């Protein structure tokens, strides 16, 4: 294919003259990446695996790793040093990097270590942020990219989708453990064996986490019932999983009958706005069989269950009306190595593209999927949702980039 006599080459969702592409690659910029230890003791994931660090250092980039950063995911300091990473002591050294990668949002103390022109890639966890958090980032004139807002070529959210897949599977496996006699459960095996009626699993929601949970429960031999507000979502789920699941819209009488016979109930509903969740009343939960189990994947956004309270990692299980409740968020951290690999698989290509593009400005201009994840650009808020929620002025990132 040619344009004005010049051969064209694909580059980041578009085409440009091959000479310009080659010139861009020659100007590839080397940069420094920092991987600090997570400040949250329950966050065991890390953003880059040693294999990803190896690819980045082979590309000429430097990666600074605070000692012990990979311990929760069972990646040793030796693994990272062998991959070409540079081990450092203390967060101050790591935050000298131009790009900081961290799974959980930065703490206020960590934000104070940032200087103008830095780029941070972290989770946003908007439901747990406040106005002062964003004002602090704005004051330090950083560029901030949220993992969960980055989109791929198919306009999907690859990080969020991966973590939801993991959470759905972990929830079913966790439910199987909580149903055992030693955990005050019903003392039944999730699934079933010959001559015994299979256990019943009720799933609220029909998104990615629900699909993963349903697939895992079906594979273990359970009867699966899925409830959602959207007929379209349930139809898609049934097409993916086959005819072996029961689906229904959220009619309270139907829900109540399902809860009365359920052994395990998993909520995958996200309470992002007051009108975006379905509250399961205490009366419905009182109708459940003693020893049955409730798990809420997104309890940190506000639970779907009226009887739920936000539990801690130290004391994650409580019993109310004879029903076992597990209300602890961040299920992917329970399988930190798998979750870290999934996260690294998304982030590593973005970082390599940043180098080839010559910097964050050109990467954000070229890659609309990464641009979707940017909520601060050089200290300017670019996410309208955040601006409206906290009363902070925001600017359209496309208009902002056109000025550069």
Active site amino acids: 125, 300
Question: Which residue blocks in 6-96 are alpha helix, DSSP H?
Answer: 18-26, 50-58, 77-82, 91-94
CB 102 within 8 A of CB 69: no
Residues 6+ away with beta carbon under 8 Å from 380? 138, 394, 395, 400
Separation CA 364–CA 346 (nearest Å): 16
Q: 27-52 burial, b if ≥16 CB within 10 A, otherwise e?
A: ebbebebbbbbbeeeebbbbbbbbeb
Which residues does 20 contact at the CB level (< 8 Å), separation at least 6? Answer: none
Contacts 24+ apart (CB under 8 A), 190-193: 190/217, 190/220, 190/222, 190/263, 190/264, 191/217, 191/220, 191/221, 191/222, 192/221, 192/222
DSSP state string for 279-319: PBPHHHHHTSPTT-EEEETTGGG--SBTT-----SSS-EEE
Sheet strand arrangement including 200-204: 245-248, 223-227, 200-204, 264-267, 293-296, 323-326, 317-320
DSSP string, 356-392: HHTSHHHHHHH-HHHHHHEEEETTEE--HHHHHHHT-
CA pair distance 64, 100, nearest whole angstrom:
9
CA-based nearest residue to 19, from 37, 28, 7: 7
């Amino acid at each position: 294919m040619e344009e004005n006599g010049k051969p064209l080459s694909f580059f980041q969702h578009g085409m440009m003259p091959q000479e310009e592409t080659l010139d861009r690659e020659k100007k590839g910029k080397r940069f420094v990446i920092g991987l600090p230890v997570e400040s949250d003791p329950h966050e065991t994931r890390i953003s880059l695996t040693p294999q990803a660090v190896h690819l980045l250092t082979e590309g000429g980039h430097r990666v600074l790793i605070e000692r012990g950063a990979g311990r929760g995911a069972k990646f040793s300091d030796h693994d990272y040093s062998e991959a070409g990473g540079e081990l450092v002591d203390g967060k101050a050294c790591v935050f000298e990097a131009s790009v900081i990668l961290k799974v959980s949002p930065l703490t206020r103390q960590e934000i104070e270590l940032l200087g103008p022109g830095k780029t941070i890639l972290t989770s946003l966890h908007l439901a747990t942020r406040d106005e002062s958090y964003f004002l602090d980032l704005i004051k330090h004139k950083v560029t901030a990219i949220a993992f969960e807002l980055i989109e791929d070529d198919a306009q999907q959210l690859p990080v969020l989708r991966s973590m939801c897949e993991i959470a759905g599977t972990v929830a079913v496996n966790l439910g199987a453990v909580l149903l055992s006699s030693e955990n005050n459960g019903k003392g039944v095996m999730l699934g079933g064996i010959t001559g015994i009626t299979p256990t019943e699993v009720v799933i609220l929601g029909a998104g990615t986490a629900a699909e993963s949970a349903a697939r895992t429960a079906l594979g273990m031999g359970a009867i699966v019932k899925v409830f959602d507000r959207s007929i379209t979502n349930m139809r898609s789920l049934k097409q993916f999983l086959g005819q072996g699941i029961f689906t229904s819209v959220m009619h309270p009488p139907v829900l109540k009958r399902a809860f009365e016979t359920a052994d395990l109930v998993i909520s995958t509903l996200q309470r992002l706005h007051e009108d975006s969740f379905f509250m399961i009343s205490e009366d419905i939960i009182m109708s459940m069989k003693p020893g049955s189990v409730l798990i809420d994947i997104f309890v940190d956004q506000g639970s779907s269950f009226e009887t739920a309270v936000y539990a801690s990692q130290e004391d994650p299980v409580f019993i109310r009306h004879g029903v076992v409740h597990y209300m602890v968020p961040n299920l992917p951290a329970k399988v930190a190595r798998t979750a870290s690999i999934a996260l690294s698989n998304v982030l590593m290509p973005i970082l390599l593209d940043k180098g080839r593009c010559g910097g964050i400005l050109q990467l954000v201009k070229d890659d609309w999927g990464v641009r979707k994840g940017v909520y601060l650009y050089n200290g300017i808020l670019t996410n309208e949702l955040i601006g409206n929620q906290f009363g902070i002025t925001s600017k359209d990132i496309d208009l902002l980039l056109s000025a550069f």
